[in-house]
Amino acid sequence: MKMKVLYYLKRSYLSWDNFFIIIILLFYIIIMVNNMENKSIWECNIRKRVLNKLDKNITTDILIIGGGIAGLTTAYFLRNSKYKVTLIDKDICGHGVSANTTGKLTFMQDLIYSKLSSNFNDEVALKYLNSCKDAVRIVKNIISRNNIECNLENVSSYVFTNDINKIENFKKEEEFYNKNNIKYKVVSKLPNNLSVKYGIKINYGCVFHPIKYLMGIRKILLESKVCIYENTRAIKLTKKDNYYEVNTDNGVILAKKVIVCTHYPFFVIPGMIPLKSSIEKSYVLSGITKTNKKFIAISNENPIYSIRYYTNSDKDYIIYAGNSHFTSNHYDAEKRYKELINDYKKYIDKDIKYYFLNHDIMTPDHLPYIGSVYKNDNSLLIATGFNKWGMTNGTIAGKILSDIILNKDNQYIELFSLHRNITKDKVKNLIIYNYLNAKSYILTKIKSNYVFYPKNVEIKVINGQKVGIYTDKKNIKHMVYIKCPHLKCNLVFNNVDKTWDCPCHGSRFDIDGNVLFGPSVYNIKYKN
């Protein structure tokens, strides 16, 4: 077949020079495709210094569970307090969900302010905008005061659409901007010459390297004698009189106060977060480009698309995310990646170096859940539901949570409270979220072998339990139980990442059943 292709290429009136150039280019493209790495661009060329895991029972004043942006920022603001602060992470701090972000900081987050004004009022919308500005200031101050090298750059921000029917939505957003003296510009083209039907630009925003930033904070915490244990997974939390008992896979921690910053809580009760949120999966590509255009952009589409640039040493990269969908829709990951790759090569660039997945916890009223789980009781705090703005909302979460612990005033406590007022949007979206999750749960019970499964993946019932079997290239069979330990939803195989994914709440497991991402805290290894 290959020889026939070469023969017909040569017959098409090409000179020998051009013919050989085309052949070289074809082989180059094949090599480049095979060189794509299934990993986050932020994890490349990063030396991983792993801290000790917990190996004994301990007591602490404050336990922070989760070493991502929210957990580390909270610890940063508590590091010099009178309290003994301990932080644990299931992996290495900063290398979980935070490592799969696009690393953007801005208050221009899609057309959120017209949504918040409609759902709540202008005052709530403006307060959210100010919280985002404060988050950006916090990050810049931490970087400046501590000389953290994390590729921080100031950029302009864009939101755009290619659907003329959505232009009216932009007009509503502009009304909010005009009321609050926010300077903006209407555009028909992005700085990389990508034409759009309608767009808004503001000269505000910044980008950074999230892992370098978080490793910088971790270093500060260690110097401040905050106790950090890595590769330590929280499994169970129990309230006992005036303290909490947290069982981990390596020991028991007794704490007066617990702050849960695990992206998605590892428990269902209290909080009932699975009934108050949904999860969106996005696909991310990154490759070398000619020039850093120094802007960030997000589309007002469904699915959403996102663009940013990144400079590392002498190379410029573009990071392109999109094809987002609720995990409850059982999409073929391989197909979604291919669609995004085609768009990337058509509109963005030809070169792709890295590809990876990102999960976002979406809330029904577009605001995160930050604060006390129980009313009038600050012993158990939580931060989750950052929607698609984890770096910004995670940062302000750290400040809010630390201020609650330190009994300081913070104007955003009520804004992000888990007990805030219920709005029409919230009721509507809660119904949609729970319908989709219930539908997903039922479908996974009815359907086992999806049409997009490759031949080397099969589902069998063994001793009354469904078992997933993946056969690798060496013909070795990897067997797991496909019932998620979190809320018993059946798992779906992801042929790109070679993982078993929960379509209900986003837990992910490798082919041997080890839990990679929560909320599940248990493995699904098959036992003979």
Q: pLDDT for 145-157, tens place per residue?
A: 999 999 999 999 9
Mean pLDDT across 49-61: 93
Please, what's the largest Cα pairwise distance for the chain?
85
As a whole number, mean pLDDT of residues 29-53 equals: 74
Residue 431 has pLDDT above 60, yes or no: yes
Q: Which of 528, 345, 327, 355 is nearest to 439 (CA)?
A: 327
Nearest Cα neighbor of 91 from 227, 214, 233 is 233
pLDDT above 90: residue 158: yes
Please check the confidence at residue 22 and state whether its pLDDT lies above 60: no
What is residue 8's predicted lDDT score, i.e. its pLDDT?
37
CB neighbours of residue 227 within 10 Å: 18
At 441 the pLDDT is 65
Is the pLDDT score of 358 beyond 70? Answer: yes
Asked if residue 20 has pLDDT above 70, the reply is no
> What is the C-alpha separation between 507 and 310, in angstroms, rounded?
29
Does residue 14 carry a pLDDT above 50? Answer: no
The answer to whether residue 52 scores a pLDDT higher than 90 is yes
Mean pLDDT (whole number) for 30-53:
76
pLDDT tens digit sequence for 57-88? 999 999 999 999 999 999 999 999 999 999 99
Contacts of 307 (CB under 8 A, 6+ apart): 190, 192, 295, 296, 297, 298, 318, 319, 320, 348
For 404-416, write each residue's pLDDT tens digit: 999 999 999 999 9
User: The domain 447-517 belongs to what CATH superfamily?
Assistant: Rieske [2Fe-2S] iron-sulphur domain (2.102.10.10)
Q: What is the pLDDT of residue 444?
A: 64
- Supply the mean pLDDT for the chain: 85
pLDDT at 319: 92
Quick one: fold of 58-100+211-272+368-422? FAD/NAD(P)-binding domain (3.50.50)
Least confident of 3-7, 50-54, 163-167, 171-175: 3-7
